[in-house]
Amino acid sequence: MAIRDETVERFHHVKQRVADAAQRSGRRPEDVIVVAVTKTASPDQIRQLLELGHVDLGENRVQQLTQRVAMTEEFIARHHDIPSPRPSTVPDQVRWHMIGHLQRNKVKTVLPLVKLVHSVDSLRLAEEVQAVASKQDREVEVLLQVNTSGEKQKAGLAAPAVPHLAEQMQTMFNIRVRGLMAMAPLSDNPEDSRPTFTRTAELFNEMREGGQYGERFNVLSMGMSNDFEVAIECGANVVRIGRALFGEPVEAATP
């Protein structure tokens, strides 16, 4: 089955490129987490990734996230039910990442499903996350999405607003701010992303060195299929990769 082999090959190729970029920037391969963005992946490709032992998956839409969490949970449960002569490489649990814009009325649905929300971009959203997390009695880990590229149509907080919001969130006891997330302007040339990534890393390092957000303020999520190596060179320790793992979408998902 060619498509399965292709997925395996793409996975190893991406992991190798991540490892090389990590080493170029003086870090170990395992210091960089690959979030496999499954929005264009088939169920078979997702299962294949889990069989390879991959743990971190990401979605940007709530409906698809909900479906895929159910699908992977069922696959994992069934997989571990079947006695196997060899130790299984399938993880016991997927770590799901919500990477897309989050509407306040979806917070209640999303929080129980995910390990990390990458896309908190307003005080109102943060307040809703806190209210729901408190009611559900859970601690929620989030990143603040920053618009360092300066494009008006891009989601995210303006850079100067980021420390301000993080400050306000210090009293939201059910939320743990783990770091920052950013996206570069769309371009065919990965080098075009470098200024955005450099600015984001500077902001991240300033906030981290200040120490007021604690030891666990240590996640910098940036870099996609077209620019993840540049992002890692700039300091990213989480990259969000879709097309490089699953191929170009076959059909246009949205008009």
Ligand X SMILES: *Cc1c(COP(=O)(O)O)cnc(C)c1O
| Binding interface with ligand X (CB under 6 A) | 37, 39, 60, 99-100, 224-226, 240-244
Which position has the token pair 């300033």? 206
CB of 137 to ligand X, least distance (A): 29
Which position has the token pair 């907080």? 157
71 phi/psi in degrees, rounded to 5: -65, -45
> For residue 220, is it left (φ>0), alpha (ψ between -120 and 50) or beta?
beta
107 residue type, one letter: V
Q: Which is nearer to ligand X, 146 or 244 (CB)?
A: 244
Q: Which is nearer to ligand X, 217 or 246 (CB)?
A: 246
- The residue at minimum Cβ distance from ligand X is 242
Structure token digits, residue 186: 């769309």
What length does the chain have? Answer: 255
DSSP single-letter state for residue 185: P
CB of 63 to ligand X, least distance (A): 14
Q: Which is nearer to ligand X, 172 or 245 (CB)?
A: 245
The burial of 162, by beta-carbon neighbours within 10 Å (0-12 exposed, 13-18 middle, 19 or more buried), is given as: buried
CB of 220 to ligand X, least distance (A): 14
CB of 1 to ligand X, least distance (A): 23
Q: 136-145 burial, b if ≥16 CB within 10 A, otherwise e?
A: eeeebbbbbb
Q: Which is nearer to ligand X, 48 or 60 (CB)?
A: 60
CB of 191 to ligand X, least distance (A): 16
Q: Count the neighbouring beta carbons within 10 Å of the beta carbon of residue 32.
A: 21
Q: Which is nearer to ligand X, 61 or 79 (CB)?
A: 61
Structure token digits, residue 74: 């069922």
Q: Which is nearer to ligand X, 70 or 186 (CB)?
A: 186
Cα 245 to Cα 116: distance, rounded to the nearest angstrom: 21
